[in-house]
Chains A and B, each alone.
Chain A
Amino acid sequence: MSVFTIEAGLAILGLALLLVEAFKPDISRRTLGLTAIAGTVLALVLFILAPHDTASLPGFIQPWHQLDGLAIFYKGFALVITILVLWLTLECAPYLTRFTLDGKLAEMFSLPLIVCAGMMWMASARDLVTVFVALELVTISFYVLVAFARKSAFSLEAGVKYLILGALSTGVLVYGIAWIYGATGTMSFDGIAKALANPATSKTAALFGSAVLLCGLGFKVAAAPFHMWVPDVYQGAPTPVTAFLSVGSKAAGFVVLTRALDAFMSAGSIIGSEIQALLLVIGALTALLGSLPAMFQTSVKRLLAYSSISHAGYLLLALACRESARFDLSSGGVVAFYLATYLPMTVLGFLGLGIMRANGLGEDLKDFTGLAKRNPLLALLMTLSFASLAGLPLTAGFLGKLFVFLGLADHGCWGALTCAVIAAATGFYYYFKTVLAMYTTEGTDVPALSLSTATKAVAGALALAIVILGVYPKPLQGVLKADKAAVVAK
């Protein structure tokens, strides 16, 4: 069974679930959710078993899809985050249903599957057309998902903002694609790389096109100054959707960005150094603009949104540092590694938020007060998540940052490194502000908060992933190492 079949199957499963819900409206959301999860888990298993080379894909898809290390990693990544988001939806269901149409959640289980398929296609795209259609599939699905809790004013507002700004960025993206195409005469990444290596190519047009294109993609990954939507949308969207946006959509954006930059910054590219400088500027700016405003946040969900921006900054900086002989990982590999570490910690954070909402608490800092008393385990897990987000050593978050910093230092990008360090330092402040709140005991009487065994298991697994990735990253690095050879060979 080829990987493509699995992806298509996933999309079909999504549609099937919709149909089932349409014709059998009284089906319980638990059944739907668990079916979706089971389907995705099955897809994951099949995906792992399936052959992992481009030749195994159906012939008609081969010109557009590739199955390199990066693609395989991100496809797996997309499946995992989808499973977690579906689980998170189930966790959040008790309060989400208050805001949805007729108290139903069917689309919350089916659309993620389609989004997942879209992200998997993005991961292996070889040209801008494929990127565009897969990206739009994901984006439009997200328009729906963000506004899904439509009876909540926040969700609706987030939907509107995401819609307008998203559409604006789509316009920018297409305009960028147009100019890239104009400058290079092709839309495939390989072709672009080849054309850019040709000195006859118009440099101004190529620069203009790539700049505009990067602006469009920058919006998707929340790069400054295209990040303004992130806090509002993340805060307003239903928590599972926020997690999905924050991890899945961002990862998908980054895989496209990686591929585009591989083309723009390939050896001998006429615009390589300008693009690198741009990435450094944008990355540093993003890291700072993500961190600095977060200091005053009282909403933890919004705080996580800012954190997500700031992490995007580090990732952009990682992309700015091209391959060095001294690392096993290509810059794409570093990004992938970072995202892999980013996944468990972010999802765990949002899972915590969801659990709290489901237990009648809010998402504000003051709701976190005394969490350690309500449920020590949850407090411990959340601590772990925040410590990792802050980049505390021995957690997953540190290694990703370390690789980024190492890369920057190796390339002598001291200015960007300084900004990144300042951003990270600020990060310590706001993450630990939250942690502190959790352990604060004075104040209100705090009713206990209980977790189901399944929740404990999922949260525990995520926490374990954080620790394991933090202290034993060798296997993950091994997976990603293969990619570098491919990049170098190219």
Chain B
Amino acid sequence: MNASIPLLLPFFSALVILLGHRQLKGAAVLISVGSSIISFIACLALLAAADDKTNNQLLLPFIDVGHFHANIDVLIDKQSRGMMFIVSFIGMLVHIFSLGYMKDDEARPRFFGSLSLFMFSMTGIVLAGNLLMMFIFWELVGLSSYLLIGHWYQKASAAEACKKAFLTNRIGDFGFMIGILLLFGANNGNVNLFDLETAFKHGGPLALGSPGYNASFTTAAALCIFLGAVGKSAQFPLHVWLPDAMEGPTPVSALIHAATMVAAGVYMLVRVSFLIEASPLAAEIIAGIGCGTALLAALMATQQNDIKRVLAYSTLSQLGYMVMAVGAVAMAAKNGHDGAHAAEPGHPAMFHLYTHAFFKAMLFLGSGAVIYACHHEQDIWKMGGLRKHMPVTFWTFSIGTAALMGVPFLSGFWSKEAVLGVAFDSGCKVLFLMGAATAALTAFYMTRLLIVAFFGKPRTESAHHATEAPMVMILPLAILAIFSVISGYDVLATPLQAMKPPHVEGHQTVLVASLLALIVGVGSAIFLYRGKDKDPISIKLFANKFYFDEIYAVIVRVCQDRLAWIVTALERVFVDGLIARLPTAIVARIGAATRMLQGGHMQGYTFLLGGGVIGVVYLVVYVLPRLGH
């Protein structure tokens, strides 16, 4: 099956819709949804395709200069196949969900156009056969994210949020590009993923231990590339954009800011895991950052009141998990846990990514249904008792929550086991302990959310009058709920070929720790929140997200705006002054002075004339001959 269908179909859909949505009106929606469905079918077919690593399929030429080729070519292997399935599947469901959710929005065609653009870009990242192509689509998902977060651009908060998201991602891309440049330089101008892997794998010219190996370079390259993932996957310290991104319509949050785009960073890291494995230091840093993000975000989530923000911090936290897994796998590989790493048959980060995609998308869509039902009310303390009004939503939401918390036999349980397992194997106990703590916190804040929003009695009018969402919204929820349950099992893992890592079972310590975390988390949450009308605990530090936004605001003001002001002033005074105004003034002054010679007085003229004669004679007779002329 040609991979160009899922790539190009959304592209044309986006193009047609964005350029002509005035004329298309309702047809735009159909085009977009239709293209997502067809893409999904194509991806299903793709699942059956064979690995194609060496001969990348050339889709489009892009840059072709001398020995350098950077083309739009695709790399089909188990990772891209699996990821394609996730992306197109959840994408399709979100498209369908949006049919209902965005029904009343006037700018619906624009929304669907942007959604198609996103599908195109995300597919591009997944299929990318080389880093440059990945970077291209990397930026494009940034654009579509920008457009979608800013869908309600009239709202100042949305306008600011989309800007923030784009700019924060830009900082990540800054690093990503440097990384690409370093690899480009080191690998003789070749950034094909497969060729890079060959170069970095055993026996390759850049591999650990080979004469061409340079530790600091490899670390630098790995960390630069990782910076890209930090931006896109919203890792500390660039995590600040993701909670704000919840300003976008909820289906967008589900698709982009939970299931797929933010996971692209993890996907990319897994793609370049050979690089991370080549640099132990980088692996440790990556694992540390992932772990730190997971814990920080979980702490912040405990004190959020906006339903979507809770989910957003939860996403952050889970992404931290995945990133930690990437680092941990590399560390474990060094420690000799050979089976843990690599590819066969799966990577724990990817495993968690897949399962997370299903249940988190489902949670977001669920929250969307809730928000929709409550007339765009997002504060959980203004909900309550929704369990009765929205039973389907409640049940699906509960399944998602359970899966996220890692309740045994749900998908999240398996994947979290895998992540904690590899953290355990990494040899760094801190990672494991922090991971377990995060798990406990996760259980805590999700239970809190469920209790406050769905149990008890309605605390506001809108919650009171909430009714179940329409079918187009329920259906995707249900489907995703099913997948949230089964995606940890071979039913799905086999066709995706990439799912369950072999050692999920068998780590006693890990199993005990995660169960313990679950029980502690759920228990304390029930204890604290059951039947409460307002938050019984208030931790300012967590509620205010560790004041990151404030600190960053100061940094931006000082390092950018104030600096810009100073530089502008200096530029005006010195550059313009020294290069332009001073010489002009000097010339003008000289001009004015020479004009004084022309005073109109004849005596002056005769004096100058006579003086000129004497001067010339002096020059010619006495000066020049001595100068050796």
Contact = CB atoms under 8 A, between A and B. Distances in A.
Q: How large is the interface on B (under 10, 10 to 19, 20 to 34, 35 or more residues)?
A: 20 to 34
Contact of A214 (B591, B595, B600, B616): B616
Contacts of A289: 594, 597
B616 A161 contact: no
A216 B612 CA distance: 11
Interface string A204-230: 100110111011001100001110110
Given A165-B605, A165-B609, A168-B606, A231 B598 contact: yes
B616 A207 contact: no
A337 B131 CA distance: 63
Contacts of A224: 612
A165 B610 CA distance: 10
Interface stretch (A113-121, A274-282, A341-349, A480-488): A274-282
Interface stretch (A41-49, A255-263, A292-300, A393-401): A292-300
Contacts of B594: 288-289, 292-293
Interface string B581-621: 00000011011101101101010111011111101110111
B591 A296 contact: yes
A276 B629 contact: yes
B156 interface: no
Nearest to A430: B591
A172 B613 contact: yes
A169 B610 CA distance: 9
Contacts of B66: none
A175 to B, nearest CB: 9
A7 interface: no
A275 B624 CA distance: 9
A219 B611 CA distance: 13
Q: Tell which of B604, B608, B613, B625 has the most Cβ of chain A within 10 Å.
A: B613
A210 B604 CA distance: 25
B587 A168 contact: no
A232 B602 CA distance: 10
B629 A168 contact: no
Contacts of B606: 164-165, 168
A359 interface: no
B627 interface: yes
Nearest to B597: A228
A292 B609 contact: no
B615 A207 contact: no
Nearest to A214: B616
Nearest to B599: A228
A54 interface: no
A293 B597 contact: yes
Contacts of B620: 207-208, 210-211, 274-275, 278
A208 B621 contact: yes
B615 A225 contact: yes
A-B CB proximity, top 3 nearest: A225-B612, A293-B595, A292-B591
A273 interface: yes
A477 interface: no
Nearest to B607: A228
Q: How large is the interface on A (under 10, 10 to 19, 20 to 34, 35 or more residues)?
A: 35 or more
A375 interface: no
Given A164-B602, A165-B609, A277-B629, A212 B617 contact: yes
Interface string A416-432: 00000010001000000
Contacts of A172: 609, 613
Nearest to B600: A232
A215 B616 CA distance: 8
Interface of B: 587-588, 590-592, 594-595, 597-598, 600, 602, 604-606, 608-613, 615-617, 619-621, 624-625, 627, 629
A62 B467 CA distance: 122
Given A211-B620, A274-B620, A292-B595, 19 more contacts: A160-B602, A168-B610, A212-B613, A212-B616, A212-B617, A215-B613, A218-B612, A219-B609, A224-B612, A228-B598, A232-B598, A273-B624, A273-B629, A274-B624, A274-B625, A277-B629, A293-B597, A293-B598, A295-B587
A169 B621 contact: no
9 contacts: A168-B606, A208-B621, A218-B616, A225-B611, A274-B625, A278-B616, A278-B624, A289-B594, A426-B587
Nearest to B604: A228
Contacts of A296: 591-592, 595
B149 to A, nearest CB: 49
Nearest to B621: A207
Interface string A152-163: 000000001100
Contacts of B617: 208, 211-212, 215
A278 B619 contact: yes
B591 A225 contact: no
Interface of A: 160-161, 164-165, 168-169, 172, 203-204, 207-208, 210-212, 214-215, 218-219, 224-226, 228-229, 231-232, 273-278, 281-282, 288-289, 292-296, 422, 426
Nearest to B625: A274
A274 B629 contact: yes
Contacts of B600: 232
Contacts of A212: 613, 616-617
Nearest to A175: B613
Contacts of A225: 608-609, 611-612, 615
Contact of B590 (A203, A226, A292): A292
B627 to A, nearest CB: 7
Nearest to B620: A211
A313 to B, nearest CB: 13
A67 to B, nearest CB: 32
A296 B617 CA distance: 32
B442 to A, nearest CB: 72
Nearest to A273: B629
B306 to A, nearest CB: 60
A168 B591 contact: no
A161 B602 contact: yes
Contacts of A422: 587
A426 B590 CA distance: 12
B591 A226 contact: no
A304 to B, nearest CB: 15
A331 B605 CA distance: 31
A275 B621 CA distance: 10
Contacts of B612: 215, 218, 224-226
Contacts of A160: 602
B614 to A, nearest CB: 9
A72 B59 CA distance: 75
B591 to A, nearest CB: 4
Contacts of A210: 620
A278 B609 CA distance: 16
A289 B621 CA distance: 24
A477 B404 CA distance: 90
Contacts of B595: 292-293, 296
Nearest to A276: B629
Contacts of A292: 587, 590-591, 594-595
A232 B604 CA distance: 13
A207 B625 contact: yes
A89 B629 CA distance: 47
Contacts of B624: 273-274, 277-278
B115 to A, nearest CB: 54
A295 B588 contact: yes
A265 to B, nearest CB: 12
B602 to A, nearest CB: 6
A134 B588 CA distance: 41
A294 B587 CA distance: 12
B579 to A, nearest CB: 14
Contacts of A294: 591
Nearest to B624: A274
Contacts of A288: 594
Contacts of A203: 625
Q: Tell which of A161, A224, A293, A426 has the most Cβ of chain B within 10 Å.
A: A293
Contacts of A232: 598, 600
B598 to A, nearest CB: 6
Q: Tell which of A203, A225, A229 has the most Cβ of chain B within 10 Å.
A: A225
